[in-house]
Amino acid sequence: MIKPHGSKVLNALFVDDDQRRQILITEAQSLPALLINSAAAANMVMLGGGYFNPLMGFMGLGDALSVCRDLHTLDGIFWPVPIINMVSVKPSFSAGQRVALLDPNVAGNPVMGILNVAGIDLVTDDQLDEMTQAIFGTTDSQHPGVATFTAQGNVLISGDVEVLGLSYFQTEFVETFRTAVQIREEISSRGWQKIVAFQTRNPMHRAHEELCRMAMERLQADGVVVHMLLGKLKEGDIPASVRDDCIRTMVNHYFPTNSVMVSGYGFDMLYAGPREAMLHAIFRQNMGATHLIVGRDHAGVGSYYGAFEAQEVFDSLVPDNALEIQIFAADHTAYSKKLNQVVMMNEVTDHTSEDFVLVSGTKLRDMLAQGIAPPEEFSRPEVAKVLMNHYKIKDS
């Protein structure tokens, strides 16, 4: 199986020894406590699950700036996005102490883990602007990722972590949430050698379905992992539970047995385009995938990024041998009326826009809200039914 990023063995930071974890939970009750924000909590879940291997915790200011400027930590690890813990008020504890980190997304704010505080850095406005520009390619406050990032504060608290809980993902998405460790184990049990990962924060329509099928066929892959984001999204996006239902419905009806693994990960969407695409590649390698589908405007939002910028970044910025996972670069896919099948639009040069079945996101939402099923060439009827039920309940 493909090696994890930056190490020979995957190192998940969740304390899976029950006795040891209980000792640490008891210790946490006597430690200074810090209620972290949702972004830091998502980082904890990803660290705990092994997705952010080989990192051992939250980056300090030096590493964060180095990642933004040079795509490497100070120790030379290739990394595209700072993994940080920011707060708005300087804490009363200091470097060298152990601190209990509390979950902001679960009632009662249970302990998520223990942080061995290595440093507490004040981030200047110029440094915050520099990091924002590097990560998102803009400092525009209308960008949902920028708005979330800049609202976290300017005090950066770093250090290694011991993860004691994986937030609400294990309880709310029992059948879907999986750590990188668990996905590797399942890949091994299925006997897969060449594995395609498909990132999604949306329900899967015909174009997404066929894109996965194309990738598997062209790469002669053993299977595809449909890996959905389960964390926070921007307002208006489809809730994770509905997406989960849509994807499982599509897979169960239209893919052969043992060709698709449906799973999800506990992270909040960054909408950081090219930088986020590189991060997606790293944690898909950590979970055992050999290839990642990177499509049009991957991890993008609005018009902040070029249509294929997230693909081009792997040629222009990712150094040779920095990653073992390979990219399956895909164009926009749509149903061709001429050929009666879904195609990559750049592969059919004799077509005009009128030859494709294209439905905008706005039009699709309007149709679903009115109980009108989109064309079968665009969305499978079983999937459309799930979405129409969601909008019916949402608007009632």
Q: Strands 86-87, 98-102: parallel, antiparallel or unpaired by DSSP?
A: unpaired
Residue type, position 171, single letter: T
Residue 68 makes CB contacts below 8 A (sequence gap 6+) with 82, 130, 131, 134, 135
Q: Is 201 a catalytic residue?
A: yes
Which one from 109, 116, 154, 202 is the annotated catalytic residue?
202
Residues 6 or more apart in contact with residue 127 via CB below 8 angstroms: 61, 65
21, 190, 201, 213: the catalytic one is: 201
- Residue 202 annotated to the active site: yes
Q: Tokens for 17?
A: 């020894």
- Residues 91, 32 contacting (CB under 8 angstroms): yes
Residue 65 contacts residue 18 (beta carbons within 8 Å):
no
Q: Residue 16 to residues 101, 165, 175, 260: CA-CA distances in angstroms?
A: 18, 10, 19, 27
Measured CA distances, 168 to 67, 138, 171 (Å): 29, 31, 6
d(CA 209, CA 88): 43
CB 195 within 8 A of CB 223: yes
Residue 224, burial from CB neighbour count under 10 angstroms (0-12, 13-18, 19+): buried
Q: Which of 238, 232, 249, 239 minimizes the C-alpha distance to 365?
A: 238
Active-site annotation, residues: 201-202
